[in-house]
Amino acid sequence: MGSKYHWQSQNVKQSGVDDMVLLSKITEDAIVDNLKKRFMDDYIFTYIGSVLISVNPFKQMPYFTDREIELYQGAVSGHRLIFLI
């Protein structure tokens, strides 16, 4: 059985860590560095535990197509959402 969500797939390019609880050190510098790495590769969504962090990409991104909405359906229920501008 395959992964239900694209971020659970083994063939997706990784940039930094998608859940920052996996950082070797949780410091301000490590968090900012991880967000920068992901931002530079157009990964604007990052988690830290149950908190979802979104960095404003300042450009049109294809995240909210019908396909993406279906993939994320129910995936973030119970999570907090933080937008960085």
pLDDT tens, residue by residue, 27-85: 999 999 999 999 999 888 898 888 888 888 777 766 667 776 676 666 555 555 555 54
How far is the first Cα of the chain from the last one, in angstroms, to the nearest whole number? 38
At 54 the pLDDT is 84
Q: Which residue has the higher pLDDT, 48 or 4?
A: 48
Separation of alpha carbons 54 and 58, rounded Å: 12
**Is the distance from CB of 46 to CB of 36 less than 8 angstroms?**
no
At 23 the pLDDT is 94
What type of residue sits at position 74?
Answer: G
